[in-house]
Chains A and B, each alone.
Chain A
Amino acid sequence: MVSTDVTRPVDERAGVPVGPRDSTGYRLFTWLNAGVLVLVTVVILYPFVTLLAQSFSSSGAIKAGLVNALPVGFNLETYRVVAGDDRFWTSYGNTVLYTVVGTVIAMVLTTTFAYAISKPHLRGRNALIGIAVFTMFFNGGIIPNYVLISSLGMKNTMWALVLPGALSVFNLLVMKSFFENIPRELEEAAQIDGLGWFAIFTRIVLPLSKAVIATMILFYSVAYWNDWFTAFLYLDEDNLFPLSLFLRNLIAGATTTTAASAAAAGTTSAAISANIQAVTMILAIIPILCVYPFVQRHFVSGVMLGSVKG
């Protein structure tokens, strides 16, 4: 990574035409390339734009299918309604808490475990890796897991959400390969200077692994942020629900009113309107949306390093 940083400025200057002019074919290709990529971007962005437009529109306009890229019947009332709902903020707070605590625990476990099994001289290393990998392919199943969590007394606590998923074996293996590529000489030098294994880990290895750490943080936090299934399994009290479950409930409430619940001898206006859904979704994705661009440059290098050299 260090070497690419050094050479990049030279490469980047190629953008300024110095040599012979690019061939017509090449320029055509560049334009086409740009065109296709812009198209792809539009396709990706369009749902977000529609969602954003819906969040400012009236529910009648949404139902009539009039809302595309721009709001119809512009209003901020929906935002006011959603922001005024205590349950929304409770679940938002829960999600932030679960995500932060979960990611911290997951990172501690993953980095330490990965570092340990990245050392070839560790006795029983293969057995440890084997145990970890085994869980990728086999698991106890939902109900045994449920009974386990329940008898550990973790039901209706944060720990039921945070602990079972705290070590992702995939992330562990990516991290292990990354650590294996850190030159042994570096650690030997540190040892000669009198550092112990723990200090080597925290003061030499971790600072060198920022890219992969950033990536793992992103992986874990997105997973915790989006996770509704564990919450659905283990939580029975709605003041503990994370945003994902709140949102799912909201959307389920809206999409099924036409079928089952409206069938309840004619519930009329109980449907949660599309604009409330849109607002809640927008508010739910904003944090992740904000973090992504900043972590993304580490993201690519982090995953690639691990996978190619592993």
Chain B
Amino acid sequence: MKLDLTARLTHRAGRRLTALAAATALVGLAACSSGGSDDGDAGENDAAAMADYAADTTFKATEPVTFSMLWTDWPETPITDSWEVFDEIEERTNVSLDLTNIPFSDAVEKRSLLISSGDAPDIIPLIYTGDEQQFAASGAVLPLSDYEEHMPNFRKYVEEWDLGDMVDNLRQADGKYYMTPGLQEVSVPTFTLLIRKDIFDEVGAKVPETWDELRDGLEKIKAAYPDSTPLADGFEGASMLNYAAHAFGTVAGWGFGNGTFYDEDSGEFVYAATSDGYKDMVEYFHGLVEDGLLDTESFTAANDGSGTVTEKFAAGQVFAASGANGTVNDFSTALDATVGKGNYEVVQIAPPGGEAGQVVEPRNFWNGFMLTSEAKNHPNFIAMLQFLDWLYYSPEARDLLRWGVEGETYTKTDGKYTLNPEFSLDAFSINPDAQTDILKDLGYSNDVLAGSTESRALKESYNAPQYVEYIDSVLSTRTPRDPFPPAPLDETELEQASLLATPLKDTVDTNTLRFILGERPLSEWDAYVGELESQNLQGYLDLINGARERYADENG
């Protein structure tokens, strides 16, 4: 899903950036012939590295070193000279970071440009799964799997938090992975259903645990508020279909990915959008539309973010909508202006379950980093790996990046973090009246580094109580779907696959909407499946299943 979010951003940036992307791809191809021939032998680049570096020890370079790093500047929290986070890192590790600043808007395109032109710094943070693929293919970034031995913390927590299968999914066709992600001890769906709980209570509907219960609740609301269309999605339906699909045992919307779904019984990939689960899901939503329970506008209108849905939510036309944690605040500020503070309750609920059980999306990674191929020639390359392992995966560094210096900015007792009263963290409304903000003034909790790897305790330490409740409710009542087995494609297959997958996905997207909105009767479902088959659906599936078998053969 994260991949798709990035795609949304890119999409918004317009035509010029598309041109840039195309140009980047060209240079990527050109670079292909020159780079990537050396293998991962470390050689004599271990100056300043620690001989006895191990998990849960503090990394400290044996001599002062400087590493270059890309830094995305968030508009609301610009980097300033007063950020002591860098001083603190330097003091502990002997590493000073030389940053290249890029603005948050279009950061993805600028990053591509820098990497493709060879101007990029060594360390590229904020890499989500999938981002690395284009650079891996052109040899512009290093296969980090070759250097696993220098990253003891990474290995330790992959093991401890049972993420090994997911790391395998990062591997490209050559069996190597080119990024190491942010590890999450627990993960919950970011986007889910937000409901006006006071209205659900008022009409006597309970908080829905399944999609059928949601339907009952919506009907009751519709009876009480006949002018409303109680359910909406601010993201053209893609968000709601994404979390709904798991309950119907399929994938859709943002989570559609490459369109394949691993069928445990037959042991191979099938196409999600022709499955019975997908049909059931489409039928369910079509039923909501027929009864006037679903705001169809929010399924078709291409609005940025959830502007109009927020308006309808505030105006009492919509009582349940898709959103993330931040959306709760959006809805609340808007409701303050209409209904008034204290007269409403917006709750983020765990995605409802369905026929497939109380299933939610598989666990996910958060952003990690990759290294440009130049980095390998750095005299302190091994030290760089050790430093990054410490920075991204050791609990000591994670605490530092989130909360600052223990005893100075925060205290930790029995695993519970408390920010000292003279410091605030406005971004999460903690100690809002204190003088010094640990993010804006000191650089802790910054968006580039702090969000990456998190233990459950750390994740729950800064989030608002209602979000912690949401996390708890998902973890205690829902099961994440198992990740699919890896089926990495090589470069030519990738090209072939995208040629096949794009028209298929277009057909799926168009028809999913038409079925839901009732523009095409569901009796034509078989005809729709036929249309997909005529677009060489089988050839596409053979490609994917072939890759899966090959990977299984090569890697056991």
Supposing A261-B447, A262-B327, A263-B191 touch, asked if A269 and B102 sit within 8 A by C-beta, the answer is: no
- Chain B residues lying within 8 Å of A66, measured Cβ to Cβ, are 337-338
State whether the Cβ of A191 lies closer than 8 Å to any Cβ in chain B.
no
A252→B75 contact, CB < 8 A:
yes
Name the segment of B87-95, B104-112, B294-302, B350-358 touching the other chain. Answer: B104-112
Select from chain A the residue with minimum beta-carbon distance to B16.
Answer: A229
State whether the Cβ of B335 lies closer than 8 Å to any Cβ in chain A.
yes
User: What sequence of 0s and 1s flags, for each residue 290-311 of chain B, a beta carbon within 8 Å of any chain A beta carbon?
Assistant: 0000000000000011111011
B305→A269 contact, CB < 8 A:
no
User: What sequence of 0s and 1s flags, for each residue 71-99 of chain B, a beta carbon within 8 Å of any chain A beta carbon?
Assistant: 00111111100000000000000000000
A263→B104 contact, CB < 8 A:
no
In the bound assembly, the distance between CA atoms of A145 and B295 in angstroms comes to 48
Nearest Cβ on chain B to A140's Cβ, whole angstroms: 10
- Chain B residues lying within 8 Å of A260, measured Cβ to Cβ, are 5-6, 8-9
Supposing A142-B23, A258-B327, A266-B325 touch, asked if A253 and B76 sit within 8 A by C-beta, the answer is: yes
User: What sequence of 0s and 1s flags, for each residue 141-166 of chain A, a beta carbon within 8 Å of any chain B beta carbon?
Assistant: 11100110010000000000000000
State whether the Cβ of B100 lies closer than 8 Å to any Cβ in chain A.
yes
Name the segment of A18-26, A179-187, A243-251 touching the other chain. Answer: A243-251
- Chain B residues lying within 8 Å of A256, measured Cβ to Cβ, are 9, 305
B306→A258 contact, CB < 8 A:
yes
In the bound assembly, the distance between CA atoms of A175 and B259 in angstroms comes to 55
User: What sequence of 0s and 1s flags, for each residue 55-70 of chain B, a beta carbon within 8 Å of any chain A beta carbon?
Assistant: 0000000000000000
Name the segment of B39-47, B142-150, B459-467 touching the other chain. Answer: B459-467
- Chain A residues lying within 8 Å of B454, measured Cβ to Cβ, are 265
User: What sequence of 0s and 1s flags, for each residue 102-129 of chain B, a beta carbon within 8 Å of any chain A beta carbon?
Assistant: 1111100010010011010000000000
Q: How many residue pairs, one in A and one in B, have C-beta atoms under 8 Å apart? A: 173
Name the segment of B220-228, B424-432, B505-513, B544-552 touching the other chain. Answer: B424-432
In the bound assembly, the distance between CA atoms of A82 and B326 in angstroms comes to 23
B103→A249 contact, CB < 8 A:
yes
- Chain B residues lying within 8 Å of A150, measured Cβ to Cβ, are 117, 119
- Chain B residues lying within 8 Å of A250, measured Cβ to Cβ, are 75
B103→A58 contact, CB < 8 A:
no
B333→A253 contact, CB < 8 A:
no
Select from chain A the residue with minimum beta-carbon distance to B28.
Answer: A143
Contact of A253 among B104, B310, B467 (CB under 8 A): B104
B234→A258 contact, CB < 8 A:
yes
A268→B338 contact, CB < 8 A:
no
Select from chain B the residue with minimum beta-carbon distance to A231.
Answer: B103
A245→B103 contact, CB < 8 A:
yes
In the bound assembly, the distance between CA atoms of A232 and B105 in angstroms comes to 9
B335→A64 contact, CB < 8 A:
yes
- Chain B residues lying within 8 Å of A251, measured Cβ to Cβ, are 105
Contact of B310 among A64, A73, A265, A270 (CB under 8 A): A64
State whether the Cβ of B261 lies closer than 8 Å to any Cβ in chain A.
no
Name the segment of A95-103, A201-209, A233-241, A290-298 touching the other chain. Answer: A233-241
State whether the Cβ of B19 lies closer than 8 Å to any Cβ in chain A.
yes
A60→B326 contact, CB < 8 A:
no
A259→B9 contact, CB < 8 A:
yes
Nearest Cβ on chain A to B108's Cβ, whole angstroms: 10
- Chain B residues lying within 8 Å of A87, measured Cβ to Cβ, are 78
B110→A64 contact, CB < 8 A:
no
State whether the Cβ of A27 lies closer than 8 Å to any Cβ in chain B.
no
Supposing A255-B304, A261-B447 touch, asked if A236 and B117 sit within 8 A by C-beta, the answer is: no
- Chain B residues lying within 8 Å of A267, measured Cβ to Cβ, are 325-326, 427-428, 447
- Chain A residues lying within 8 Å of B101, measured Cβ to Cβ, are 236-238
Nearest Cβ on chain B to A108's Cβ, whole angstroms: 28
State whether the Cβ of B314 lies closer than 8 Å to any Cβ in chain A.
yes
State whether the Cβ of A271 lies closer than 8 Å to any Cβ in chain B.
yes
- Chain A residues lying within 8 Å of B235, measured Cβ to Cβ, are 259
B451→A61 contact, CB < 8 A:
no
Residues 199-234 of A contacting B (Cβ, < 8 Å)? 229, 232-233
Supposing A64-B311, A249-B104, A258-B324 touch, asked if A264 and B110 sit within 8 A by C-beta, the answer is: no
State whether the Cβ of B477 lies closer than 8 Å to any Cβ in chain A.
no
B337→A143 contact, CB < 8 A:
no
B467→A266 contact, CB < 8 A:
yes
- Chain B residues lying within 8 Å of A272, measured Cβ to Cβ, are 75-76
User: What sequence of 0s and 1s flags, for each residue 3-32 of chain B, a beta carbon within 8 Å of any chain A beta carbon?
Assistant: 001101100100010011001101100000
State whether the Cβ of A59 lies closer than 8 Å to any Cβ in chain B.
yes
- Chain A residues lying within 8 Å of B105, measured Cβ to Cβ, are 232, 245, 248-249, 251-253
Nearest Cβ on chain A to B118's Cβ, whole angstroms: 8
State whether the Cβ of B323 lies closer than 8 Å to any Cβ in chain A.
yes
B326→A258 contact, CB < 8 A:
yes
State whether the Cβ of B366 lies closer than 8 Å to any Cβ in chain A.
yes
State whether the Cβ of B190 lies closer than 8 Å to any Cβ in chain A.
yes
A262→B20 contact, CB < 8 A:
no
B117→A143 contact, CB < 8 A:
yes
State whether the Cβ of A119 lies closer than 8 Å to any Cβ in chain B.
no
State whether the Cβ of B529 lies closer than 8 Å to any Cβ in chain A.
no
User: What sequence of 0s and 1s flags, for each residue 409-432 of chain B, a beta carbon within 8 Å of any chain A beta carbon?
Assistant: 000000000000000001111000
User: What sequence of 0s and 1s flags, for each residue 63-76 of chain A, a beta carbon within 8 Å of any chain B beta carbon?
Assistant: 11110000011000
- Chain B residues lying within 8 Å of A248, measured Cβ to Cβ, are 103, 105-106
In the bound assembly, the distance between CA atoms of A236 and B71 in angstroms comes to 10
- Chain B residues lying within 8 Å of A271, measured Cβ to Cβ, are 76, 326, 329-330
State whether the Cβ of B491 lies closer than 8 Å to any Cβ in chain A.
no
A241→B5 contact, CB < 8 A:
no
Nearest Cβ on chain B to A270's Cβ, whole angstroms: 5
State whether the Cβ of B315 lies closer than 8 Å to any Cβ in chain A.
yes
Contact of A265 among B304, B327, B426, B451 (CB under 8 A): B451
Nearest Cβ on chain A to B21's Cβ, whole angstroms: 10
State whether the Cβ of A257 lies closer than 8 Å to any Cβ in chain B.
yes
- Chain A residues lying within 8 Å of B308, measured Cβ to Cβ, are 65
B326→A268 contact, CB < 8 A:
yes
Question: Which among A63, A229, A232, A256 has the greatest number of chain B C-beta atoms within 10 A?
Answer: A63
State whether the Cβ of B522 lies closer than 8 Å to any Cβ in chain A.
no
Residues 323-382 of B contacting A (Cβ, < 8 Å)? 323-327, 329-330, 333-338, 366
- Chain A residues lying within 8 Å of B310, measured Cβ to Cβ, are 63-65
18 contacts between A and B (CB under 8 A): A58-B337, A65-B308, A66-B337, A238-B73, A241-B103, A248-B103, A249-B105, A258-B323, A260-B5, A261-B74, A261-B447, A263-B5, A263-B190, A265-B366, A266-B463, A268-B427, A269-B429, A270-B427
Contacts beyond the supplied A65-B334, A261-B104: 19 A-B pairs with Cβ under 8 Å: A60-B337, A63-B334, A64-B310, A66-B337, A143-B116, A146-B113, A233-B110, A237-B101, A238-B101, A249-B75, A252-B104, A252-B106, A255-B12, A259-B5, A266-B326, A268-B325, A268-B428, A269-B427, A271-B326
Residues of B within 8 A of A (CB): 2, 5-6, 8-9, 12, 16, 19-20, 23-24, 26-27, 73-79, 100-106, 110, 113, 116-117, 119, 190-191, 234-235, 304-308, 310-311, 314-315, 323-327, 329-330, 333-338, 366, 426-429, 447, 451, 454, 459, 463-464, 467
